[in-house]
Amino acid sequence: MLKKFDKKDEESGGGSNPFQHLEKSAVLQEARVFNETPINPRKCAHILTKILYLINQGEHLGTTEATEAFFAMTKLFQSNDPTLRRMCYLTIKEMSSIAEDVIIVTSSLTKDMTGKDDNYRGPAVRALCQITDSTMLQAIERYMKQAIVDKVPSVSSSALVSSLHLLKSSFDVVKRWVNEAQEAASSDNIMVQYHALGLLYHVRKNDRLAVNKMISKFTRHGLKSPFAYCMMIRVASKQLEEEDGSRDSPLFDFIESCLRNKHEMVVYEAASAIVNLPGCSAKELAPAVSVLQLFCSSPKAALRYAAVRTLNKVAMKHPSAVTACNLDLENLVTDSNRSIATLAITTLLKTGSESSIDRLMKQISSFMSEISDEFKVVVVQAISALCQKYPRKHAVLMNFLFTMLREEGGFEYKRAIVDCIISIIEENSESKETGLSHLCEFIEDCEFTVLATRILHLLGQEGPKTNNPSKYIRFIYNRVVLEHEEVRAGAVSALAKFGAQNEEMLPSILVLLKRCVMDDDNEVRDRATFYLSVLEQKQKALNAGYILNGLTVSIPGLERALQQYTLEPSEKPFDLKSVPLATTPIAEQRPESTPITAVKQPEKVAATRQEIFQEQLAAVPEFHGLGPLFKSSSEAVALTESETEYVVRCTKHTFLNHMVFQFDCTNTLNDQILENVTVQMEPTESYDILCYVPAKSLAYNQPGTCYTLVALPEGDPTAVACTFSCMMKFTVKDCDPTTGETDDEGYEDEYVLEDLEVTLADHILRVLKPNFGAAWDEVGEEFEKEETFTLSTIKTLEEAVGNIVKFLGMQPCERSDKVPENKNSHTLFLAGVFRGGHDILVRSRLVLTDTVTMQVTARSTEELPVDIILASVG
């Protein structure tokens, strides 16, 4: 009866939030009451609450109005009402960063902090430290020291925590309070102990020895506070990590002993510390895993969550260590907290056997819609790992992924799914057809442009190679009809790729492309027109060059070259070969070169490293007339040890018929200045040294650059690999290290550097041909050569592939650098551009017997590169 009445009352008074419609100006107006005497504490406290509430809601107070209110508030210190006083402290803290001259309350706060009323002292310390800067701190230092060792816990804690905050700005002052903190650390109060240890650690954290001492001192007697234990465990595990963990250390023993602590918080902290230690063995993990196992059946959701999350981490590195917990994890699969259930399932997916996958997937799909996107991504990652582990299960997993793809979800989540599906398609050729058709369905209703264009690109690449390519056309053409311009452009490119590879489909593709010629958007129209005219030529080489493999030049480079060309009008047509090529990043495995469609991605057209070099080189008059820079070596080679008097690093720049060696030199002697520095070079082959560009002067620790220009051998063009012996020549002038004054007289000196190698890879740029077969046909067999070699020192196909790629410096295509397991033959496709802009393609068939036998077939548009490749390999 009473309850009912209550409820009704509540409803009628539902809108009675006294703070709901507060106006900032009205509240600040009210603050004038502060000036009245006598002070009405209740009313004033309520006004302060209103001000705090406004700040809390994110209302912005201007400096003037805040300062005004702040000064009015200082009057309230005349009242002795406890609540009002406490509200003043809060207001001071909140306003310390907004109002000006807040330090005028310093004396009032100092008085409260040293006063008799314990309830005032702690909060007063905290408020005071909030408004104090490093210059003022000296004045209150004495009080702070007293407060730290105060016998009232709230005062001591407040002082310690405030000192911790002050460390950031006034380390040197707070450092002097360690003795007091040390005393506080033996306090009986659990929070004081925790805060004191925290402060001590932060003061001493750069002194390993002191930290070690601190740990052993406080752990020997045992600590009272679970928080302090957690802190100590973290400190200990950090020390262990820096020591590169010998596990016999007393630190590890301490952490392990914490597994038997009576507080769950400490036990969990210890277990998680052990799990996170790098390079932990299964034996060391075992006790940690078994306490986590116990936690799995705790009634507290947070503890179950913590346990299963940590087990999930263990499972990534040591799945076998977690197998013992499988039964407990199974029980969590139906946990009402979906985060726990998801973590349990993804852990089981890592540790369980192949047979349990179907069941687990079914379970997880029953509540996929209830969990947050973060966890959905975790699930997708687990699936992606599973696909690699059990390739046979891909059908089940693919189905699951497609169901997820159809459901609602954010971009990150969808992208994770699409990534995962694409990688499955790449690994498993059987799954390609189903995968592609599901992706087709997905783009029928896809709100993410990036994903749609990416899938269209994939369709264009993989679709024509399937058994029944015509079924994809409808999906692609639908995009042209229904989507906005970016997707339409992508769809047009995909259509053209089908037309280029399928003779039967060509007529219908031409019809479709003709319809696109009337599109509203420039880009779509241009593409359609372009592809149409290429396709109508019906020449394979054109198809391969302009549709299937696209441009390989660097886009910013092209922009610059074209601008240059328009500035200096000439009779000659623009030569595409003068544009620097886009270098393919070596680490990139996936064909990221989604041509033109993906240009919308946020990747800024920043000047690449090569373009920076190009500008630097163009500034040197000796190098005019060398033509465009073809390639710069990817990283500078050190020609000295790093600790010597002079440090020299070399970068190789390749031009059409010349090479420039750039030497970045640093003088590490502070009593010398080097002048007129050159690097003299002596080639083993018939390279000609043309000129040296010296670095004028090298002062102490200021890097300088000198260059050496050489001409490539003309007589024997196949001899591209060469070794240069190098010698640095310079004039030394002694100087005074302190004043920097130099002697006028100098003397000649030399310094021997290590040899510099020029290899075949310096003459070839890596270029990715997304469709190697088409490129192979395009180049044609005019200059084809073939030879067979035995690689006697190499024992596996992976090793052979790695070596060949590195030696030739060419880009592996069609993922042929991945050798399938358990096979004894493999074909590697490599593509590159030879100096001078000639495409060069290499097909290398490898057969493993006892050693590896390699048949190399090279094709190019010129004879020379083919000869050079074969000559170098042999």
Partner 1 sequence: MEALILEPSLYTVKAILILDNDGERLFAKYYDDTYPSVKEQKAFEKNIFNKTHRTDSEIALLEGLTVVYKGSIDLYFYVIGSSYENELMLMAVLNCLFDSLSQMLRKNVEKRALLENMEGLFLAVDEIVDGGVILESDPQQVVHRVALRGEDVPLTEQTVSQVLQSAKEQIKWSLLR
Tokens of 39: 């002070």
Per CB under 8 A, the list member of 104, 139, 282, 302 interacting with partner 1 is 302
Per CB under 8 A, the list member of 25, 135, 336, 849 interacting with partner 1 is 336
N residues, the chain = 874
For residue 249, which of 258, 239, 259, 261 has the smallest C-alpha distance? 239
Rounded-to-integer distance, Cα 110 and Cα 421, Å: 66
The residue among 2 and 209 lying less far from partner 1, judged by its C-beta, is 2
- For residues 467 and 578, the answer to whether their CB atoms sit within 8 Å is no
The residue among 374 and 588 lying less far from partner 1, judged by its C-beta, is 374
Q: Which residues are 665's β-sheet partners?
A: 648, 704
String of DSSP letters for 371-387: S-HHHHHHHHHHHHHHH
- For residues 228 and 215, the answer to whether their CB atoms sit within 8 Å is no
For residue 844, which of 829, 832, 864 has the smallest C-alpha distance? 829
Asked whether position 245 contacts partner 1 by CB under 8 A, the answer is: no
Asked whether position 849 contacts partner 1 by CB under 8 A, the answer is: no
Site for partner 1 in 166-185 (CB under 8 A): none
CB of 161 to partner 1, least distance (A): 5
The residue among 19 and 574 lying less far from partner 1, judged by its C-beta, is 19
Contact pattern for partner 1 over residues 146 through 165, marking x by CB under 8 A: -------xx--xx--xx-xx
The DSSP symbol for 553 reads B
Site for partner 1 in 111-130 (CB under 8 A): 119, 122-123, 126
Asked whether position 58 contacts partner 1 by CB under 8 A, the answer is: yes
Per CB under 8 A, the list member of 28, 39, 44, 87 interacting with partner 1 is 87
The residue among 301 and 618 lying less far from partner 1, judged by its C-beta, is 301
CB of 90 to partner 1, least distance (A): 6
CB of 208 to partner 1, least distance (A): 13
CB of 9 to partner 1, least distance (A): 8
The residue among 231 and 492 lying less far from partner 1, judged by its C-beta, is 231
Rounded-to-integer distance, Cα 193 and Cα 157, Å: 8
Strands 825-834 and 764-766: antiparallel
Rounded-to-integer distance, Cα 116 and Cα 155, Å: 12
Amino acid, res. 27: V
Tokens of 854: 């390699």
Contact pattern for partner 1 over residues 199 through 238, marking x by CB under 8 A: --xx--x---------------------x--xx--xx-xx
Amino acid, res. 8: K
Asked whether position 34 contacts partner 1 by CB under 8 A, the answer is: no
Q: What is the distance of C-alpha 711 from the center of its chain?
A: 42
Amino acid, res. 553: V
Residue in the block written with tokens 């309520």: 46
String of DSSP letters for 442-472: HHHT---HHHHHHHHHHHHHHGGGSS-THHH
CB of 228 to partner 1, least distance (A): 10
Site for partner 1 in 182-201 (CB under 8 A): 191, 194-195, 198, 201
Per CB under 8 A, the list member of 142, 213, 217, 300 interacting with partner 1 is 300
- For residues 298 and 319, the answer to whether their CB atoms sit within 8 Å is no
The residue among 19 and 171 lying less far from partner 1, judged by its C-beta, is 19
Rounded-to-integer distance, Cα 646 and Cα 637, Å: 14
CB of 609 to partner 1, least distance (A): 28
Stretch that binds partner 1, among 9-17, 62-70, 444-452, 493-501 (CB under 8 A): 9-17
Rounded to 5°, the CA angle 702-704-707 comes to 170
Per CB under 8 A, the list member of 296, 340, 495, 509 interacting with partner 1 is 340
Asked whether position 820 contacts partner 1 by CB under 8 A, the answer is: no
Stretch that binds partner 1, among 16-24, 445-453, 509-517, 790-798 (CB under 8 A): 16-24
Q: What is the distance of C-alpha 761 from the center of its chain?
A: 29
CB of 641 to partner 1, least distance (A): 33
The torsion of the CA quartet 822, 823, 827, 832, rounded to 10 degrees, works out to 20
Tokens of 315: 């499972």
For residue 659, which of 619, 696, 691 has the smallest C-alpha distance? 691
For residue 75, which of 47, 115, 117 has the smallest C-alpha distance? 47
Q: What is the distance of C-alpha 751 from the center of its chain?
A: 41
The residue among 42 and 142 lying less far from partner 1, judged by its C-beta, is 42
The residue among 85 and 843 lying less far from partner 1, judged by its C-beta, is 85
The residue among 52 and 732 lying less far from partner 1, judged by its C-beta, is 52
Asked whether position 82 contacts partner 1 by CB under 8 A, the answer is: yes
Asked whether position 597 contacts partner 1 by CB under 8 A, the answer is: no
CB of 383 to partner 1, least distance (A): 16
The residue among 154 and 219 lying less far from partner 1, judged by its C-beta, is 154
Stretch that binds partner 1, among 267-275, 510-518, 585-593, 784-792 (CB under 8 A): 267-275
The DSSP symbol for 742 reads B
Question: What are the backbone dihedrals phi and psi of residue 539, each rounded to the nearest 5 degrees, phi first?
Answer: -115, 130
Amino acid, res. 780: G
Stretch that binds partner 1, among 108-116, 266-274, 528-536, 651-659 (CB under 8 A): 266-274
Contact pattern for partner 1 over residues 608 through 647, marking x by CB under 8 A: ----------------------------------------
End-to-end Cα, the chain, rounded Å? 100
Per CB under 8 A, the list member of 4, 12, 13, 745 interacting with partner 1 is 13
Contact pattern for partner 1 over residues 351 through 390, marking x by CB under 8 A: -------------------x-x-xx---------------
Rounded-to-integer distance, Cα 710 and Cα 712, Å: 7
The residue among 288 and 779 lying less far from partner 1, judged by its C-beta, is 288
The residue among 278 and 820 lying less far from partner 1, judged by its C-beta, is 278
The residue among 236 and 698 lying less far from partner 1, judged by its C-beta, is 236
Sign of CA dihedral 447, 453, 457, 458: negative
For residue 828, which of 871, 873, 793 has the smallest C-alpha distance? 873
CB of 24 to partner 1, least distance (A): 14
CB of 280 to partner 1, least distance (A): 9
Asked whether position 8 contacts partner 1 by CB under 8 A, the answer is: no
Per CB under 8 A, the list member of 33, 90, 517, 638 interacting with partner 1 is 90
Q: Which residues are 827's β-sheet partners?
A: 845
Per CB under 8 A, the list member of 30, 53, 98, 733 interacting with partner 1 is 53
Contact pattern for partner 1 over residues 277 through 296, marking x by CB under 8 A: xx------------------
Question: What are the backbone dihedrals phi and psi of residue 793, each rounded to the nearest 5 degrees, phi first?
Answer: -90, -5
504 Rama sector, left if φ>0, alpha if ψ -120 to 50, beta otherwise = alpha
Asked whether position 83 contacts partner 1 by CB under 8 A, the answer is: yes
Asked whether position 269 contacts partner 1 by CB under 8 A, the answer is: yes
For residue 376, which of 408, 398, 350 has the smallest C-alpha distance? 408
Site for partner 1 in 92-111 (CB under 8 A): 93
Tokens of 298: 């705790």
643: number of CA atoms within 13 Å, CB side? 0
Per CB under 8 A, the list member of 44, 61, 251, 275 interacting with partner 1 is 275
Asked whether position 49 contacts partner 1 by CB under 8 A, the answer is: yes
